[in-house]
Every structure is written in C-alpha cells, then in structure tokens.
Amino acid sequence: MSEPQDPLRSLFRQAADTGRSRAVTAPAAAITERGRRERRRRVGAVVAVCLAFGGGAATATAFLPGEPVSAGPADGPVPSGPSEAGPSPGPSASRSSPTPDGTVPASASASASSPPLPPPPPSSTGSPSGSSSSGSTGTPGTGPPDT
C-alpha cells in the first residue's frame, strides 16, 4: 500500500530543501567576534552588580553607628546566678560561678545570649579589700535544686 499524496508534506520538504541549499556557515572570525562581544557584556554586568552591591554595603555601614554607646558604670554588681522570679537560663550558665574578681569564665559566658560585662572598677569608698559594700557578685553553688 502506498501512502496518499499529502500536499502539506510535499511543501514542507520543498521548504527544507530550499533552506539547506541557501544555508551558509558563518566565517570563524564572525563567530569569534560574537563570542567576544557576549563575554564583554557578561563582564560588564558582573562589574555593575559588584559595584551596586559594594555601594549598598558602604551605604549601610555609613548609617550604622561606629562605636557602641556606653551606658556608664553600673551602680552595683550584676548577679550571675539564676533569678528567683523566672526560670533558670540553662544548665551551663547556672553551674558557672564567678571568679574572685567578679567575672564569669569565658567558657560559661559563651552560651549566654549577651556578651559578658567587664568587672566594675574598684571603688575608693568601699571596704578596705576593694570589693563593693553591697555584697558579692554571686554565691558559688547556686544551681538548680537537686530533684
């Protein structure tokens, strides 16, 4: 059985043959130049994006404060143990005890959400040992109650 003649199919074949006969490959120099132009466009776009990002970052840092505002010295010592009103901050923070100079070891303060505070300066009107008259900065062994 032969296939019936399809006029549309014969027109497509004729168009394909005409296109094949007229097709010419581009010279290598033209292809190379086209690639160079495309590469220059990409580099230009990357440079523009980097400049925009750098300018935005520089603007953002210009609006940020340069130095943190100091609130001044504290009136009294900062307690390092858990507060009686709320839950304990965590097992690692509640087990740490302050050193004799009133600071908390760095390993214990690493898990805290705020940076460690510097020790208060020795007061000249306090007790002869140089410690504050309001008491110690914390009591060793004040952890969560044993259950």
For residue range 27-80, list pLDDT tens digits in order.
999 999 999 999 999 999 999 999 999 999 999 888 887 776 677 776 767 667
Model confidence at 109: pLDDT above 50: no
User: What's the whole-number average pLDDT of the chain?
Assistant: 74
Identity of the highest mean pLDDT range in 5-9, 43-47, 92-96, 110-114: 43-47
- Can you give the pTM of this predicted structure? 0.32
What pLDDT, on a 0 to 100 scale, did the predictor assign at position 130?
Answer: 46
Query: Closest by alpha carbon to 140, among 99, 105, 108?
Result: 99
